[in-house]
Structure 1
Amino acid sequence: MMYTPPISTITGLVLIVDDTPSNLEVVSETLGDAGFDIAIATSGDRALQQIERSLPDLILLDVMMPGIDGFETCQRLKANERTRHIPIIFMTALSDGESKVKALELGAVDYIVKPFYEKEVLARVSTHLQLSQLTKNLAAQVTQKAAELEASQLQLIQNEKMSALGNLIAGVAHEINNPISAIVGNVDAVQDYLNDLLGIIDLYAQTFPQPGAEIEDELTAVDLDYLREDLPKLIRAMKDGGDRITSISQSLRIFSRADSDTKQSFNIHQGIDSTILILQHRLKSNEQRPAIIVINNYDNLPEVECFPGQLNQVFMNILANAIDALDESSQGRSFAEIQANPNSIKITTSINNHYVKISIADNAKGMSEAVKQKIFDHLYTTKPVGKGTGLGLAIAKQIVEQTHKGKLSCHSILGQGTEFIIEIPV
């Protein structure tokens, strides 16, 4: 005996396709009384037209009908991506084994032979609707679990990359910091000592206006007047260089800032500037192109509660991609052509509706609509093998939208450039 699920828990639209009015009346009344929504078609052609307007949850399909028969109707439905998932139960007077096999091979889920027993029809319809709903729920769960697994994998990759990069940069910054602090701290003392020594030389010159031929020759050889003029410049250049290295060390520490379990207040502009500094070597001119110009248009932003290390990774991925795009767009163009329309990256920040907005735009070749639709997909990349992993923008989107509840979007016009917009709630 076939189990009949509780009718009250099963709903759906059932399309009955039959050219016999008495069959339509009996089946419609039976299913309608059980709580199902009913639609009727008297031929295969009308059924296909009706399904185009409204998709049923299950189809009861006769075989022998005017026009296209039930087998042809089933074949067309199963060939259509939009309708192939709809369960079809054949309900026909054909009781031979060959017809049953053909029906099942075409994709039907069941086969009822006329004359039928109303309760059997109700039980089979209820069972297959429940199976269809369970299948849909299972597919949705599989899709959700796959998305969660992908997100988890991206998170692990992101954490590993940031941990390795952060440790490396923090170590470099620490190693730089100690010797440069010694140099910068001693430059002023060196300047004072040199001033004292030059003062003593002047005092000797006053006390011994005729130092003798040997000293006169040595003073001429070292050009004391030029030394007096140039030595302070050298010391000032050394101090400026030391201050620059100190600034680089500080930027490295900002970029590699470790994230705790809770969000921290962060200066967005410091994060962007530290990232640009790390990428400075890639912005310089090379054999293929002149230097890339970075244009900063910063608004007065408040500090943002966020995970600084992760946001810095987003800036790094987007800026590195912009440089890659400009390198690619420079191929085949002369320096003169590029200088007429310089390679540039424009970074604009603003605050609007409780969101900090960061725009990073380049003037490279842009991308097609088809590419733009896929750039945030896991493992999708347009770069050559070995250069791109297809993870950077996928990770960036996860950091912005899932971790920070913000939004990462892309606007691009082929031949004009690409703009990425990061929005972080304040």
Structure 2
Amino acid sequence: MSSEIGFAYTTRLRLGDSSGADLALSKLASIRFPHSTKRSFEVSTTTADPVTVFIAEDNPILLQGLERALTANGYAVDTAADGPAMMELLDAAPLPDILLLDVMMPGMSGVEVLDSVRADPRTAGLPVVLITAAADEVVPGSSLEGRGADVLMKPFRLNELLSRIENHVGRHRGAAGEASRSSGAAAGTISGDN
């Protein structure tokens, strides 16, 4: 394999388990794009208002790869090795902008975490992306249908994940801003947004 400074390349990781989980990530340690192909994100990833992503993934190699890739793209990332750890993180930390949940984790699956998140009024509106290698989980009538979450199939490309994060967080922040402006107007307050 060869590399060129300033350009991304794709590395495919094949994890040794039988689930067939693999993930295409662009150069995990430092992702760089040439100026002509640099992505333009609508979601702010500046240090003043970083997008915060919480990831629950039981495979430590995949978890570290996702954390590095997202951090290299300007996201603030916090991780959990399983479902119960994610629930503790959600209780203890300020809420993130989006959750990435592996579907198949021991102890508490990503679907169980999603159900708990949706049942709690504090977290019910959080955008969630479920990540799975199990194609049978995403067919109509499956356990994932109708749960209010996006589903991303493994293997996936980093750009696909970044696009989904961008879209979900942009919609969520837009909806939260609109709700805030509406409630302010209803209460008779005046702001620069009205």
The verdict on a shared fold, with TM-score over 0.5 as the criterion, is yes
2:60 corresponds to: 21
Q: Is the 8 A contact 2:58 2:81 kept in 1?
A: yes
- Taking a change above 3 Å as real, the CA distance of residues 67 and 123 of structure 1, as seen in their structure-2 partners, is same
Q: Secondary structure in 2 aligned to 1:9?
A: coil
Task: Select the structure with the greater relative contact order (CA < 8 A; seq sep ≥ 6).
Answer: 2
Residue 65 (structure 1) shift: 0.4
**1:6: Cα distance to partner?**
1.7
Amino acid at match of 1:29: R
Structure 1 residues 53 and 120, CA gap change in structure 2 (3 angstroms): same
Aligned residue among 94, 98, 104 for 2:139: 98
- Structure 1: gaps of 5 or more residues: 152-426
- Structure 2 unaligned blocks of 5 or more: 1-38
Equivalent-residue separation in structure 1 for 2:102 and 2:88 (angstroms): 16
Instruction: Name the Cα RMSD after superposition.
Output: 2.2
The equivalent residue for 1:121 is 161
Match for 1:67 among 88, 107, 110?
Answer: 107
Partners of 1:107 and 1:140 in 2: how far apart?
22
Q: 1:86 aligns with which of 126, 134, 137?
A: 126
1:43 pairs with one of 67, 82, 86: 82
Query: Which amino acid is 2:41 matched to?
Result: P
8 Å CA contact retained: 1:7, 1:34:
no
> How many Å apart are 1:79 and its aligned residue?
0.2
What's the secondary structure of 2:135's corresponding residue?
coil
Amino acid at match of 1:44: G
Q: Distance in 1 between matches of 2:153 and 2:82?
A: 19
1:273-300 per-residue CA deviation (whole Å, 9 max, x = no partner) reads: xxxxxxxxxxxxxxxxxxxxxxxxxxxx
Q: What is the DSSP-based 3-state SS (H/G/I as helix, E as strand, rest coil) of the residue aligned with 1:142?
A: helix
Q: Is the 8 A contact 2:103 2:111 kept in 1?
A: yes
SS of 2:139's equivalent?
helix
Give the deviation of 1:104 after TM superposition. 4.3
| Residue 91 of structure 1, CA deviation | 0.9
Aligned to 1:6: 41
- Residue-by-residue CA offset, 1:170-217 (whole Å, 9 max, x unaligned): xxxxxxxxxxxxxxxxxxxxxxxxxxxxxxxxxxxxxxxxxxxxxxxx
Which ranges of 4 or more aligned residues in structure 1 deviate by more than 2 Å? 7-11, 96-104
Q: What does the per-residue CA deviation read over 1:135-190, in whole Å, with 9 as the maximum and x for residues that have no partner?
A: 100111111222229x9xxxxxxxxxxxxxxxxxxxxxxxxxxxxxxxxxxxxxxx
What SS class does the counterpart of residue 107 from structure 1 fall into?
coil
Structure 1 or 2: more helix by fraction: 1
What is the 5 A alignment of 1:321-340? none
Paired amino acid for 1:116: F
Instruction: Report the count of equivalent residues.
Output: 146
Q: TM-score, normalised by structure 1?
A: 0.32
Is contact 1:13–1:58 with CA below 8 Å preserved after alignment? yes
Q: What fraction of aligned residue pairs are identical, expressed as a percent? A: 29
